[in-house]
Amino acid sequence: MPDTGITDILVSEDQIKEIVKRLGAEVTEHYRNTERELVVIGLLRGSFVFMADLVREIKLPMVMDFMTVSSYGDGTVSSGDVKIIMDLDTSIEGRDVLLVEDIVDTGNTFSKVIRMLQNRNPNSLKICTFLNKPECRTADVEIDFCGMDIPNEFVVGYGLDYAQLYRNLPYIGIKGQ
Ligand code: IMP
Ligand code: MG
């Protein structure tokens, strides 16, 4: 087998399943009495694996859309710049929106995306992230549904990449230097 550069498994496939089930149940409970269908928005590319699993654990009517914003380029350090590469097709005005992210690190990307989406006047906007690195936070982001807090390590797999690689790993691994 080629050297993957993964030094440790941080979240196993079984743990991922448990976490996603719990999050799906929390989201379902939260929106149980909402009149109109939920709008679930994934930030590409990182969130696509998690979102595919999550939506199947949310037992509510929903529509889905995706958005691409730039953040890191291909490195491991945040540039601090966020711009929309691909916008939503769906109008979120007056809708209940759940924004899905793979990981919140500095919070820089997310806080800017949240501000952009708030300007479109949704009825509500909630945040769901699979992983959270609280030690790295520099921007203010309130997370409503959080899979797991992790230490300040660079992780890959389950949608997360290093230079676009590793997204297909079925677990979360720590990428050594
Ligand atoms: P933030 O703006 O610093 O919160 O960065 C958010 C984005 O950076 C995430 O959506 C990921 O795409 C990427 N990112 C942050 N930490 C990691 C990591 O440990 N592995 C892979 N990507 C990461
Ligand atoms: Mg991302």
Q: What's the confidence (pLDDT) of residue 73?
A: 53
Supply the pTM of this predicted model: 0.92
β-strands 96-104, 38-44: how paired? parallel
For ligand 1, whether the C-beta of 111 sits within 6 Å is no
What atom in ligand 1 is closest to the CA of residue 106?
3
Q: What's the alpha-carbon Rg for the chain, to the nearest Å?
A: 16
- Ligand 1: residue whose CA is nearest its atom 17: 154
Q: Which two tokens stand for residue 65?
A: 């859309």
105 a catalytic residue: yes
Given a contact cutoff of 8 angstroms between Cβ atoms, the answer to whether 65 and 41 are in contact is: yes
Q: What's the confidence (pLDDT) of residue 1?
A: 44
For ligand 1, whether the C-beta of 158 sits within 6 Å is no
Residue tagged active-site, from 53, 102, 105, 161: 105
**Domain boundaries of the chain, sorted by first residue:** 6-175
For ligand 1, whether the C-beta of 104 sits within 6 Å is yes
Closest by CA position to 42, among listed 102, 85, 83, 84: 102
Q: Which two tokens stand for residue 99?
A: 């924004």
User: What is the fold, at CATH topology level, of the domain defined by 6-175?
Assistant: Rossmann fold (3.40.50)
| Number of Cβ within a 10 Å radius of residue 22 | 13
Q: What's the confidence (pLDDT) of residue 81?
A: 64
What atom in ligand 1 is closest to the CA of residue 105?
4
The residue type of 161 is: D
Q: Which two tokens stand for residue 37?
A: 């269908």
Closest ligand, as measured to the CA of 42: 2
For ligand 1, whether the C-beta of 53 sits within 6 Å is no
Q: Which two tokens stand for residue 44?
A: 């590409």
For ligand 1, whether the C-beta of 20 sits within 6 Å is no
- Tens-of-pLDDT digits for all 177 residues of the chain? 456 788 899 999 999 999 999 999 999 999 999 989 999 999 999 999 999 999 999 999 999 999 998 865 555 555 556 788 999 999 999 999 999 999 999 998 889 899 999 999 999 999 999 999 999 898 989 999 999 999 999 999 999 999 999 999 999 999 987
- Ligand 1: residue whose CA is nearest its atom 10: 103
Closest ligand, as measured to the CA of 45: 2
The residue type of 85 is: I
Question: CA 133, CA 150: separation in Å to the nearest integer?
Answer: 5
- Is cis: bond before 45, omega within 30 of 0? yes
